Homo-oligomer: A and B are copies of this chain.
């Protein structure tokens, strides 16, 4: 059974009403008088990170990738639960965890520690409090909205290459990505749809279009990229953790972001890139999950 079959099988199970789309690994539920946002991401040694990678960076990314999921919901992080496989470089892991928790002002709530029996698996659950309801989803884009993205795409790619090739270039965008928590909270009241761009802009835009049952038309020349000579690579590489959102015409844009396209009625394809329909998301991005 592959992932798609597994997700399909899970949809037969007793689901919590908050579990609308098991691929969108963020649950939003009312609790007390507030709205709670829960997300869980897992990193496997040899799949999501390399055995020789700095474990402090791995800790940072584990937390930041979960906080990015909260950011896309406009949620303020409350705390995290860590499931940790014991192994080498635990000191470095704890130091990186300290850095990222301190940076975001988030507290460790608890978790579990297990022995490793082969490649290690690290899992984090992040708990957040919605700053605005209804909480944005990837499914709300409306025809006529503008499509926007924060930041510069491809910085993680260049950072990865600098690290891989030992060029001495800045690897921080790959090694210690930033979750757009403050931006997400400012955007949440204004957007009609929002998601983070962890798997590459074009692939994630395709997913937003499918979820919203619209077509998204993207002008690649309008997309801020880290290396214009490698524009399509920048738009299909993942790990940038920027925010992709649809903004209704006339709505205020409360953060720095680039308009990269338009939400259109569902046409021949969910995604049009420089006017060309993309019918198959294969090759649009890289699934790091």
In the complex, A13 has a CB within 8 A of chain B: yes
In the complex, A84 has a CB within 8 A of chain B: yes
Residue pair B117, A44 in contact (C-beta under 8 Å): yes
In the complex, A26 has a CB within 8 A of chain B: yes
Residue pair B121, A6 in contact (C-beta under 8 Å): no
In the complex, A53 has a CB within 8 A of chain B: no
In the complex, A52 has a CB within 8 A of chain B: no
Complex CA–CA separation, A24 to B74 (angstroms): 31
The verdict on A15 contacting B107 (CB below 8 Å), with A117-B118, A123-B42 known, is: yes
* Identical chains in the assembly: 2
In the complex, A260 has a CB within 8 A of chain B: no
Residue pair B81, A125 in contact (C-beta under 8 Å): yes
Residues in chain B near residue A229, CB distance under 8 A = none
Residues in chain B near residue A107, CB distance under 8 A = 14-19
Residue pair A78, B34 in contact (C-beta under 8 Å): no
Residues in chain B near residue A150, CB distance under 8 A = none
CB nearest neighbor in B for A11: B108
Residue pair B86, A16 in contact (C-beta under 8 Å): no
Complex CA–CA separation, A84 to B3 (angstroms): 10
Residue pair B46, A110 in contact (C-beta under 8 Å): no
Residue pair A13, B108 in contact (C-beta under 8 Å): yes
CB nearest neighbor in B for A79: B16
Complex CA–CA separation, A98 to B12 (angstroms): 8
6 contacts between A and B (CB under 8 A): A6-B84, A12-B98, A14-B107, A15-B108, A19-B110, A44-B85
